């Protein structure tokens, strides 16, 4: 056991964690995948999407913003939690426009990959078919607002990694939308294609121009292995 480490239990499996780790970080390190959308290992957690909700010591809590603690008892992989997570993914699908078969991100999209992993077949809730715009004002990047799932990764990356304030949210609740710090579109912001914010979107809302289809369908990240496999592989590797 590493000095200062402590133990907690996830779905009956005892794992080791370190001080300062959140539940999701401790599970990632131990090779246990907790589904997530807004969480990204390079960014401060935001607790926006609720996909990572687990039952922690008997109560629902977001694994990305809950510090790991000695003796915690966590339920992650249960039929009810899978159903709840599928419900969140379904809501995101019907709230935007997501024609996966001809989307540039198909096979490399975390929303789509989670839909597959959680067994989403066809949404039960009605599609809302919003009419949102595409912003192609930037020479190297375009924004397709139809795909935005309001995860805030771009906001956090722009602020904390790029030292800019390109993205923000406006409004609250169901009218909350992504906005920019320039009225004339992305082309008027300081955004650059090398920015972290340009490459951290989990869906096809922030897209680098002229890069589409450089990896053909069938050879993309989640075409090859399901989302979470990289994390789960750590556990398989550590087993004797």
Applying CB under 6 A, the residues found at the interface with ligand FES are: 36-39, 47-52, 62, 64
Q: Sort strands 206-208 and 73-75 into parallel, antiparallel or unpaired.
A: unpaired
Nearer to ligand FES, 60 or 128 (CB): 60
Least distance from ligand FES to the Cβ atom of residue 11, Å: 18
Say which entry of ligand SF4, ligand FES, none residue 76 contacts (CB below 5 to 8 A, set by partner kind).
none
The answer for residues whose C-beta is within 8 angstroms of residue 99's C-beta and 6 or more apart is none
Say which entry of ligand SF4, ligand FES, none residue 152 contacts (CB below 5 to 8 A, set by partner kind).
ligand SF4
82 membership: H or E segment, kind and range: helix 79-95
Q: What is the DSSP string of 171-234?
A: S-GGG-EEEESSTT-GGGSS--TTSGGGG--SSSSEEETT-TTSS-TTSSHHHHS-TTHHHHHH
Among 17, 26, 63, 206, binds ligand SF4 (CB under 6 A): 206
Nearer to ligand SF4, 204 or 227 (CB): 204
> Which residues does residue 197 pair with via DSSP β-bridges, in sequence order?
none
Selected range binding ligand SF4 among 1-9, 63-71, 145-153, 185-193, rule: CB under 6 A: 145-153
Is position 180 an interface residue for ligand SF4 (rule: CB under 6 A)?
no
- The packing angle between helices 229-238 and 23-30, to 10°, is 60
Asked if 197 and 168 count as a contact pair (C-beta separation under 8 A), the reply is no
Site for ligand SF4 in 40-99 (CB under 6 A): 98-99
Is position 178 an interface residue for ligand SF4 (rule: CB under 6 A)?
yes
Say which entry of ligand SF4, ligand FES, none residue 40 contacts (CB below 5 to 8 A, set by partner kind).
none
Nearer to ligand FES, 36 or 117 (CB): 36
Say which entry of ligand SF4, ligand FES, none residue 164 contacts (CB below 5 to 8 A, set by partner kind).
none
| Residue whose structure tokens are 């949404």 | 123
Asked if 91 and 25 count as a contact pair (C-beta separation under 8 A), the reply is no
Closest CA relative to residue 120, chosen from 144, 101, 150, 94: 94
Say which entry of ligand SF4, ligand FES, none residue 112 contacts (CB below 5 to 8 A, set by partner kind).
ligand SF4
Is position 154 an interface residue for ligand SF4 (rule: CB under 6 A)?
yes
């Amino acid at each position: 056991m590493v000095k200062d480490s402590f133990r907690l239990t996830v779905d009956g499996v005892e794992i080791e964690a370190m001080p300062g780790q959140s539940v999701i970080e401790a599970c990632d390190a131990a090779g246990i995948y907790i589904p997530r959308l807004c969480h990204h290992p390079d960014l401060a957690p935001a607790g926006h999407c609720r996909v990572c909700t687990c039952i922690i010591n008997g109560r629902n809590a977001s694994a990305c913003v809950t510090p790991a603690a000695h003796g915690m008892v966590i339920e992650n992989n249960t039929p009810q939690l899978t159903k709840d997570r599928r419900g969140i993914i379904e809501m995101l699908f019907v709230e935007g426009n997501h024609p996966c078969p001809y989307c540039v991100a198909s096979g490399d999209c975390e929303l789509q990959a989670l839909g597959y992993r959680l067994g989403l077949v066809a949404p039960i809730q009605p599609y809302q078919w919003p009419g949102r715009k595409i912003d192609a004002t930037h020479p190297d990047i375009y924004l397709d607002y139809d795909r935005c799932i309001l995860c805030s990764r771009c906001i956090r990356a722009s602020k904390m990694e790029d030292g800019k304030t390109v993205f923000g949210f406006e409004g609250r609740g169901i009218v909350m939308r992504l906005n920019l710090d320039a009225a004339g579109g992305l082309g008027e912001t300081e955004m650059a294609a090398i920015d972290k914010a340009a490459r951290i979107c989990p869906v096809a809302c922030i897209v680098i121009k002229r890069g589409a289809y450089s990896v053909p369908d069938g050879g993309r990240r989640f075409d090859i292995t399901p989302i979470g496999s990289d994390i789960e592989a750590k556990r398989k590797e550590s087993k004797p």
